[in-house]
Amino acid sequence: MTRASERPRVVVTGMGLVTPLGIGLEPTWAALMAARSGAGPITRFDASAFQVRMACQVDDFDPTDWMDVHEARRSDRGMQFGMAVARQAVDQAGLVVTPEIAERVGVIVGTGIGGLETLQTGFEALLSRGPNRVSPLTGALMLPNMPSGQVSIAVGARGPNYCVVSACATGSHAIGEAFEIIRRGDADAMLAGAVEAGVTPFGVAAFHRTGAMSTRNDDPQHASRPFDKDRDGFVFGEGAGLVVLESLEHALARGAHPLVELVGYGASADAYHVSAPREDGSGAAQAMRLAVQKSGLPFDAIDYINAHGTSTVMNDISETRAIKTVFGERAYRIPVSSTKSMHGHMLGAAGGVEAVITALTILRGVIPPTINYQTPDPECDLDYVPNVPRPVERPLRAAVSNSFGFGGHNASLVFARYEP
């Protein structure tokens, strides 16, 4: 075990993305820089009878690019996404999990729902053809922990391994908990992130009934409009995001190149409502404040915030209030953007994807925009980087990535520019 005074620095050495904007870091980043929406009519099933008929889907995804055909057939779509981002991240990190280090490498891959496609298929078989026609794989593949287990099997990681499930905060919690595992000395490297593949008939119907989804079916490209006065809800998305975290000592010893440093993680609960955030944003503010305090950085070192920014009426107001609570008058000078305006809301995977985007923002010195921002909301009065990317005048020192979930779960991560 490592004493608190000796806690290691934690760096990101690899990243992976599967998003409605593209498969991989470069296609996704290019779409963000082009301010392109990934929304469109639902094509994964016949949605003609649904009140919500649009989503941000992952198109042109071939699981056999990342796993063999036999394995792909025995995997839920979310598991396939998980394998894709894990392969990307491990390749970028140059991490080979040998038997000598396997017990010091762990995996935390979360999901907000689990294998929803598998569950729906199994339930339909039960109702239409009887219990003996339910696939024997259903019981395993619908479990939320399966992507984490499958990734560990694929790379040979035998360290800490489990699944975080905290609705829309899942991805950030997974990365934050992996960060703490390394900091307390229980692992030298962790693969951490989240997946979600919920664009199914039941998923779309269920989340529409919460009243939180946009119904702009006639104009999907402009439906997700975080912080805009005319927003009417989120656009369902799917995808995955994952990072390879390592202690700085471990990364340098094997010749890896640190990309950015993860320096802070804060978590809190609203203890208020199953789906609505506290109107004053106090729970979200608590998570952000803890993350920055634990980073050891001054609050004025935060140069960018990747907002949770769902495009729902109350979330965007409460998050704006939370940012102002934490940063005071300086909040008006911090660029804040919601990339959900482009890739949609991936529920559990959102925090994993947005953590990667936040790291890329620090690395590349361009802030992604909040697209579809047309009519300012007096309740949302910060700098939301409207509609076009913004090159920075000087290198970003540090950035916050926020995730807030149904149930009142809040998580914030602080990434910093890597300084040797």
In the chain, what are the domains?
10-253 (3.40.47.10), 265-417 (3.40.47.10)
- Catalytic residue check, 308: yes
Rounded Cα–Cα distance for residues 309 and 195 (Å): 19
Question: Which 8-state DSSP code applies to residue 399?
Answer: E
CB proximity list for 89: less than 8 A, separation 6 or greater: 14, 15, 16, 191, 193, 242, 243, 244
Note whether 322 and 331 are within 8 A (CB): no
- Catalytic residue check, 345: yes
> What backbone phi and psi angles, to 5 degrees, belong to 238?
-140, 160
pTM for the model stands at: 0.97
The per-residue pLDDT for 6 is: 72
Q: How many residues does the chain have?
A: 420
Catalytic option among 168, 250, 343, 409: 168
Q: What percent helix, strand, coil does the chain show, rounded to 5?
A: 40, 20, 40
Rounded Cα–Cα distance for residues 418 and 263 (Å): 10
Q: At what angle do helices 116-129 and 77-93 cross, to 10 degrees?
A: 160
Burial 19-55 (b: 16+ CB within 10 A, else e): bbbbbbbeebbebbeebbbbbeebebeebeebebbbb
Catalytic option among 308, 343, 380, 409: 308
Catalytic option among 343, 345, 380, 409: 345
In the chain (420 residues long), the average pLDDT of successive 10-residue segments reads 66 98 98 98 97 97 96 96 98 98 98 96 96 95 97 98 98 98 98 98 96 97 98 98 98 98 98 95 98 98 98 97 98 98 98 98 98 98 98 97 97 97
Note whether 128 and 120 are within 8 A (CB): no
Q: At what angle do helices 25-33 and 350-364 cross, to 10 degrees?
A: 70
